[in-house]
Amino acid sequence: MTMVIVILVVSAALIAGALWGMYGKLPAQVNGFMIALAGGALIQSLMEEMITPASLNLSLYTIVLFVLCGAGVFTALDYWIDEKWGDNSGGGLLAAITLDGVPENLALGVALIGAGPAEVAALAGAIFLSNLPEAAGGAKNMVNDGHNKKKVLSLWIATAGLLSLSAIVGNLALSDVPLHYLDMIKCFAAGAVVASLATEVFPQSFKQDHHLSGIAVAIGLCVAYALGQL
């Protein structure tokens, strides 16, 4: 039941966000504020759920290595997407969600084994908060760039399915994997998150709402921290 709830949240956040971005009529400033909010939540998540726990089982050298690998792979993929679709296409945000989401959800599936209701609520809330506005911004930019709405929605649905599958694999197949290997996965994901924040999330939010993007990041960080305290 726990896994079903989290999978539904992961999928719903991405699909609802894509629909919001394609058909919603929110002002650009509101959209930018929401993307910055998600960025703040991701800052908290990558430290509290990925890097800090990994420090209990991995050396500093190993943590740095895998964080840099994650950042490097995301940067290379983001560069390729920019060359193929253009830097305002929304493909970068899709890459951010996919590349940091797959290893993160693998680890999430393991973390949910034996988790209580409060822990599930906190994890589900953090996922929803970070994925919804990112999907909205990415889908909106793809449509504005001339891509067919049905094709864009199908792409985000496929992404939701991929991340959900990652969580299932983590829950069923990785439960017996040594913790230090899971921590390596988390550090790789953290590096991808950091790179996505710097190259896609924060530039996009600042472009749409340069006055309040800073406070939005702070609010997102505080909300994610509060959820983590549950």
Q: Is residue 140 part of a domain?
A: yes
Q: Is residue 222 part of a domain?
A: yes
| pLDDT under 70: residue ranges of the chain | 1-2, 82-93, 96-97, 100-101, 104, 107-108, 110-126, 130, 230
Number of folded domains that form the chain: 1
pLDDT computed for residue 67 by the predictor? 94
Q: Is residue 18 part of a domain?
A: no
Q: Is residue 21 part of a domain?
A: no
- Output the pTM of the full model: 0.76
Q: Is residue 216 part of a domain?
A: yes
pLDDT computed for residue 113 by the predictor? 62
Q: Is residue 16 part of a domain?
A: no
pLDDT computed for residue 177 by the predictor? 79
pLDDT computed for residue 197 by the predictor? 84
pLDDT computed for residue 225 by the predictor? 84
b/e map of 124-163 (b: 16 or more CB within 10 Å)?
A: bbbbbbbbbbbbbbbbbbbbeeebeeeebbebbeebbeeb
For 167, the domain range is: 28-229
Q: Is residue 129 part of a domain?
A: yes
